[in-house]
Structure 1
Amino acid sequence: MVSKFSSRRPLDEGEEAEIQKIIASDPDAPEATDEQLAQAKPFAEAFPDLMESIKRARGRPKMAAPKVAVTLRVDPDVLERFQSKGKNWRSDMTQALRKAVGLT
Structure 2
Amino acid sequence: MSAEGLERQTRNYMSNNVPQIQQHGGNFEVRDVDEAAGTATVAIGGACSGCGIAPMTMKAIERQLPESVDGLDDVEVVRSSGPRAAVMPSKTDEMEDMDEYEDYSPPF
Normalised to the residue count of structure 2, the TM-score between the two structures is 0.24
Which structure has the larger Rg? 1
- Highest RCO, 1 vs 2 (Cα 8 Å, sep ≥ 6): 2
Normalised to the residue count of structure 1, the TM-score between the two structures is 0.25
Greater percentage in strand: 2
